[in-house]
Amino acid sequence: MSPRVHAVSLNPEHGFSKAAARSVTLVAGLGIEGDAHSGPTVKHRSRVARDPSQPNLRQVHLLHRELFDELRALGHEVAPGALGENITTAGLDILSLPLGARLRLGEEAVVELTGLRNPCSQIEAFKPGLLRAVLDKTADGTVVRKSGVMSIVVSGGVVRPGDAIVVELPQPPHRPLLPV
Protein backbone atom coordinates (compact mmCIF):
# COMPACT_ATOMS: atom_id res chain seq x y z
CA MET A 1 0.00 0.00 0.00
CA SER A 2 1.33 3.43 -0.86
CA PRO A 3 1.54 5.87 2.07
CA ARG A 4 -1.74 7.66 2.79
CA VAL A 5 -3.38 9.91 5.33
CA HIS A 6 -5.65 7.63 7.35
CA ALA A 7 -7.32 10.29 9.53
CA VAL A 8 -7.02 13.94 10.56
CA SER A 9 -7.87 15.40 13.96
CA LEU A 10 -7.75 18.66 15.87
CA ASN A 11 -8.73 20.21 19.18
CA PRO A 12 -9.11 23.98 19.69
CA GLU A 13 -8.59 23.48 23.44
CA HIS A 14 -5.64 22.03 25.32
CA GLY A 15 -6.65 18.45 25.94
CA PHE A 16 -5.08 15.05 25.45
CA SER A 17 -7.21 13.70 22.59
CA LYS A 18 -8.25 15.39 19.36
CA ALA A 19 -11.55 15.01 17.50
CA ALA A 20 -11.73 13.48 14.05
CA ALA A 21 -12.30 15.95 11.22
CA ARG A 22 -13.15 15.72 7.52
CA SER A 23 -10.12 17.88 6.76
CA VAL A 24 -7.54 20.10 8.44
CA THR A 25 -5.84 23.19 7.07
CA LEU A 26 -2.10 23.44 7.61
CA VAL A 27 -0.65 26.96 7.83
CA ALA A 28 3.06 27.49 7.08
CA GLY A 29 5.09 28.30 10.19
CA LEU A 30 2.10 27.83 12.52
CA GLY A 31 0.52 24.38 12.39
CA ILE A 32 -3.10 23.33 12.02
CA GLU A 33 -5.66 26.10 11.81
CA GLY A 34 -7.91 25.96 14.85
CA ASP A 35 -5.74 23.55 16.85
CA ALA A 36 -4.54 24.55 20.35
CA HIS A 37 -0.93 23.64 19.47
CA SER A 38 -0.76 25.97 16.46
CA GLY A 39 1.64 28.90 16.63
CA PRO A 40 5.24 29.96 16.01
CA THR A 41 6.27 29.42 19.66
CA VAL A 42 5.70 26.43 21.97
CA LYS A 43 2.10 25.70 22.97
CA HIS A 44 2.51 22.54 25.06
CA ARG A 45 1.89 23.68 28.62
CA SER A 46 5.00 22.10 30.16
CA ARG A 47 7.23 23.74 27.55
CA VAL A 48 5.50 27.12 27.87
CA ALA A 49 6.16 26.99 31.63
CA ARG A 50 9.89 26.49 31.00
CA ASP A 51 10.36 29.05 28.21
CA PRO A 52 7.41 30.46 26.23
CA SER A 53 9.73 31.96 23.59
CA GLN A 54 10.99 28.58 22.32
CA PRO A 55 10.20 27.87 18.66
CA ASN A 56 7.29 25.47 18.18
CA LEU A 57 8.86 22.30 16.79
CA ARG A 58 5.66 20.39 17.64
CA GLN A 59 3.15 22.13 15.34
CA VAL A 60 1.80 18.90 13.84
CA HIS A 61 1.86 15.47 15.51
CA LEU A 62 1.81 12.45 13.18
CA LEU A 63 1.17 8.88 14.29
CA HIS A 64 1.17 5.66 12.26
CA ARG A 65 -2.12 3.74 12.14
CA GLU A 66 -0.20 0.49 12.40
CA LEU A 67 0.48 1.30 16.07
CA PHE A 68 -3.27 0.89 16.75
CA ASP A 69 -3.08 -2.75 15.59
CA GLU A 70 -0.09 -3.35 17.86
CA LEU A 71 -1.88 -1.73 20.81
CA ARG A 72 -5.09 -3.68 20.12
CA ALA A 73 -3.11 -6.93 20.33
CA LEU A 74 -2.03 -5.80 23.82
CA GLY A 75 -5.63 -5.10 24.85
CA HIS A 76 -5.70 -1.34 24.22
CA GLU A 77 -8.42 -0.09 21.88
CA VAL A 78 -7.27 3.28 20.51
CA ALA A 79 -8.85 5.34 17.72
CA PRO A 80 -7.29 8.03 15.51
CA GLY A 81 -6.83 11.29 17.41
CA ALA A 82 -7.10 9.60 20.80
CA LEU A 83 -3.35 9.90 21.48
CA GLY A 84 -3.36 13.56 20.52
CA GLU A 85 -2.12 13.21 16.97
CA ASN A 86 -3.27 15.54 14.22
CA ILE A 87 -2.53 13.25 11.30
CA THR A 88 -2.74 9.47 11.36
CA THR A 89 -0.71 7.89 8.56
CA ALA A 90 -1.01 4.45 6.96
CA GLY A 91 1.58 2.47 5.03
CA LEU A 92 4.55 4.55 6.19
CA ASP A 93 7.17 3.72 8.83
CA ILE A 94 7.37 7.28 10.12
CA LEU A 95 9.52 6.34 13.11
CA SER A 96 12.38 5.30 10.84
CA LEU A 97 12.48 8.55 8.88
CA PRO A 98 15.42 10.90 9.51
CA LEU A 99 15.42 14.36 11.01
CA GLY A 100 14.46 16.90 8.35
CA ALA A 101 12.50 14.45 6.20
CA ARG A 102 9.62 16.22 4.50
CA LEU A 103 6.19 14.75 3.93
CA ARG A 104 3.97 16.09 1.18
CA LEU A 105 0.42 15.57 2.40
CA GLY A 106 -2.15 15.80 -0.36
CA GLU A 107 -1.75 18.43 -3.08
CA GLU A 108 0.01 21.30 -1.29
CA ALA A 109 0.83 20.76 2.37
CA VAL A 110 4.39 19.90 3.41
CA VAL A 111 5.63 19.17 6.93
CA GLU A 112 9.22 18.70 8.06
CA LEU A 113 9.98 16.20 10.80
CA THR A 114 11.61 17.74 13.87
CA GLY A 115 11.70 14.78 16.26
CA LEU A 116 9.97 12.01 18.14
CA ARG A 117 7.08 12.55 20.48
CA ASN A 118 8.26 11.77 23.97
CA PRO A 119 5.38 9.87 25.59
CA CYS A 120 4.36 11.31 28.94
CA SER A 121 2.20 10.50 31.94
CA GLN A 122 -0.90 11.79 30.13
CA ILE A 123 -0.83 8.60 28.04
CA GLU A 124 -0.94 6.52 31.22
CA ALA A 125 -3.76 8.68 32.63
CA PHE A 126 -5.69 8.17 29.38
CA LYS A 127 -5.45 4.35 29.59
CA PRO A 128 -3.52 2.55 32.33
CA GLY A 129 -0.75 0.40 30.85
CA LEU A 130 -0.62 2.37 27.61
CA LEU A 131 2.60 4.23 28.43
CA ARG A 132 4.49 0.95 28.70
CA ALA A 133 2.90 -0.20 25.42
CA VAL A 134 4.21 2.81 23.46
CA LEU A 135 7.74 2.40 24.83
CA ASP A 136 10.08 -0.43 23.96
CA LYS A 137 13.78 -1.28 24.27
CA THR A 138 16.21 -2.70 21.76
CA ALA A 139 18.59 -5.53 22.66
CA ASP A 140 21.25 -2.97 23.64
CA GLY A 141 18.84 -1.14 25.96
CA THR A 142 18.06 1.83 23.71
CA VAL A 143 14.58 3.22 24.41
CA VAL A 144 12.21 3.10 21.42
CA ARG A 145 9.46 5.72 21.46
CA LYS A 146 6.51 4.60 19.33
CA SER A 147 4.02 7.43 19.97
CA GLY A 148 4.65 9.31 16.75
CA VAL A 149 6.69 12.15 15.32
CA MET A 150 6.47 15.92 15.53
CA SER A 151 6.82 18.37 12.67
CA ILE A 152 6.61 21.96 11.50
CA VAL A 153 4.57 23.18 8.55
CA VAL A 154 6.72 24.23 5.59
CA SER A 155 3.88 24.73 3.08
CA GLY A 156 0.22 25.08 3.92
CA GLY A 157 -2.75 23.35 2.42
CA VAL A 158 -5.81 21.23 3.13
CA VAL A 159 -5.25 17.61 4.21
CA ARG A 160 -7.96 14.94 4.15
CA PRO A 161 -8.18 11.23 4.90
CA GLY A 162 -7.14 9.29 1.80
CA ASP A 163 -4.62 11.90 0.63
CA ALA A 164 -1.32 10.54 -0.66
CA ILE A 165 1.87 11.04 1.32
CA VAL A 166 5.14 11.56 -0.54
CA VAL A 167 8.40 11.36 1.41
CA GLU A 168 11.33 13.64 0.55
CA LEU A 169 14.53 12.69 2.37
CA PRO A 170 17.12 15.31 3.34
CA GLN A 171 20.67 15.17 1.99
CA PRO A 172 22.86 12.57 3.70
CA PRO A 173 24.20 12.00 6.21
CA HIS A 174 20.82 11.29 7.76
CA ARG A 175 20.39 11.93 11.47
CA PRO A 176 17.90 9.92 13.52
CA LEU A 177 14.87 11.53 15.10
CA LEU A 178 15.34 12.31 18.79
CA PRO A 179 12.70 13.34 21.33
CA VAL A 180 11.59 16.93 20.89
Average pLDDT over every residue of 90-116 = 98
Q: Which of 2-11, 21-30, 35-44 has the lowest mean pLDDT?
A: 35-44
pLDDT higher than threshold 90 for residue 170: yes
Average pLDDT over every residue of 21-26 = 98
Task: Name the CATH superfamily, with its identifier, for domain 4-163.
Answer: PK beta-barrel domain-like (2.40.33.20)
Average pLDDT over every residue of 134-156 = 95
40-72 confidence digits (pLDDT tens): 999 987 888 899 999 999 999 999 999 999 999
Residue 81: which pLDDT band, with cuts at 50, 70 and 90? Answer: very high
Mean pLDDT (the chain, rounded): 96
**Higher confidence at residue 131 or residue 49?**
131
pLDDT higher than threshold 80 for residue 1: no
Contacts of 64 (CB under 8 A, 6+ apart): 88, 89, 90, 92, 93, 94, 95, 148
pLDDT computed for residue 18 by the predictor: 97
Amino acid, single-letter form, for residue 77: E
